[in-house]
Amino acid sequence: MKEKVKIVILGGGYAGLLTAVTLQNKVHAKRADITLINKQDYHYLTTKIHESAAGALNPELIHLPISDLIDTERIHLVKDVVLKIDLMKKEVILKKCSERYDYLVAAIGGAPRTFNIPGLKENGHFIFDFEGTERLREQIKNQFIKYNADQDESRLTFVIGGAGFTGIEFLFEFLEQIPKMCKKYGIEEEKVKVICAESATTLLNGYDSRMAQDAWKSMQKLKCKVLGGLAISSCSKKEVLFSDGKTVKTNTIIWAGGIKGNPILENLGFPMLDGRVIVNEYLEVEGHKEIYILGDASVIFSPEGEPYPPSAQIALQQGQYCGKNIALKVYGQPIKPFNYIYRGAVMSLGRKNATGVVYGNYINGKLASFIKYVIEMRYYYMLGGLRMLAKEMKRERLIIKNHSKDTIPKN
């Protein structure tokens, strides 16, 4: 009888979770022990965290216990923080213990890219993970409440750094919530100022130009200042300094300036690009066929040699591929290279508007918004078929019925 293979997956985000559920279906329990390690015992829908940050979505809707999504009889779930990887011992060092591996899947996401802007790390709010966006929502709410007590106008000035995909999606959600917040706290809407600064002079580089045009047109109608070609040079708790030398007083700096790789994977001698590990066509690290790096922690290249921007779409396809690939290796079968299929991108421009290109077809408005919803629902199907989809839709209905869809209490 063959010895059991020990498979360790780091990260319960899109890539890690898809690897886990694929493996649980493809490898018999007699052949492998599978461990999934994640900082939290819940999974969150990263593609929607900007909505809950803005108060547009009840956070419960994007917060899912991992044990509801995997077969805990098959997968050993460990809630712990990964500290480092010991390549020699084939061991992962966690805060509370360590785990030996035969195959390691590092799907631990990235980290916010701050470009070493002084004061940003300490004072910025990052649209990056669930906990951070929870803090941001509280911060925004508190500014409205505290303004009523001290009339400090800088409380109602919000600066967003970065008008990329995430920055734009957040901007629209946030601006839609402002009238509701003002009504709730009895503040005139004109008092609230939102400034979005983007160092580039063009929007959404790397995406279809029609998406950028739609976003730009819709932004013209918004009650906010969008400053193109202007970078944030530094910030403190109370002020932002821009690259043109001007300052703005604010208590809330929201950073959406992109992500870099995960620091845990630095200094392991792996080939890197912007802190992300360059993997081969099998998503393995060159020279370490037992180590896969997936999702935002890694980088893959288009046939033209351009690095693909990190996305959930890549992470999900990689997770499924990696699960299948390890299963093939366990059973001694030949493996095939990873073939990324780009299906398009849809960007929300508020609750009922979006823009995107799907399978080469340009869509916008309510249709695009609906397609985005379908893409989100498809994720549940990928995780656990129709049963998971029905379960999650039911859960969603219950949360909305018992609480509310957003987090701004009605008057």
Ligand X SMILES: Cc1cc2nc3c(=O)[nH]c(=O)nc-3n(C[C@H](O)[C@H](O)[C@H](O)COP(=O)(O)OP(=O)(O)OC[C@H]3O[C@@H](n4cnc5c(N)ncnc54)[C@H](O)[C@@H]3O)c2cc1C
If phi > 0 it is left, if psi is from -120 to 50 it is alpha, else beta; for residue 283 that is: left
Q: Which residues contact 67 (CB under 8 A, 6 or more apart)?
A: 41, 77
In the complex, minimum distance from the CB of residue 57 to ligand X, in angstroms, rounded to a whole number: 11
In the complex, minimum distance from the CB of residue 81 to ligand X, in angstroms, rounded to a whole number: 4
Closest CA to 178 of 167, 166, 193, 163: 193
**Distance in angstroms (rounded) separating the CA atoms of residues 358 and 310:** 17
In the complex, minimum distance from the CB of residue 117 to ligand X, in angstroms, rounded to a whole number: 19
The single residue of 51, 99, 169, 284 carrying the catalytic annotation is 169
| Active site (annotated) includes residue 138 | no
**Distance in angstroms (rounded) separating the CA atoms of residues 189 and 175:** 11
Element (H, E) at 259: strand 259-260
Nearer to ligand X, 98 or 333 (CB): 98
In the complex, minimum distance from the CB of residue 280 to ligand X, in angstroms, rounded to a whole number: 18
Nearer to ligand X, 24 or 38 (CB): 38
The answer to whether 312 and 288 are in contact (CB under 8 A) is no
The answer to whether 248 and 157 are in contact (CB under 8 A) is yes
In the complex, minimum distance from the CB of residue 191 to ligand X, in angstroms, rounded to a whole number: 27
Nearer to ligand X, 145 or 377 (CB): 377
Long-range contacts of 65-70 (CB under 8 A, 24+ apart): 65/41, 66/12, 66/17, 66/36, 66/38, 66/41, 66/42, 67/41, 68/391, 69/17, 69/21, 69/43, 69/383, 69/384, 69/388, 70/17, 70/20, 70/21, 70/24, 70/36
Nearer to ligand X, 35 or 242 (CB): 35
Question: Contact residues for ligand X (CB under 6 A)?
Answer: 11-16, 37-40, 46-47, 49-50, 81-82, 107-109, 127, 166, 169, 264, 295-297, 310-313, 315
In the complex, minimum distance from the CB of residue 402 to ligand X, in angstroms, rounded to a whole number: 26
Place of tokens 């701004």: 408
Task: Please report, as a single letter, which amino acid is at residue 326.
Answer: I
Place of tokens 């009895």: 186
Nearer to ligand X, 15 or 171 (CB): 15
Nearer to ligand X, 248 or 294 (CB): 294
**Distance in angstroms (rounded) separating the CA atoms of residues 82 and 101:** 14
**Distance in angstroms (rounded) separating the CA atoms of residues 224 and 351:** 17
| Residues with active-site annotation | 169
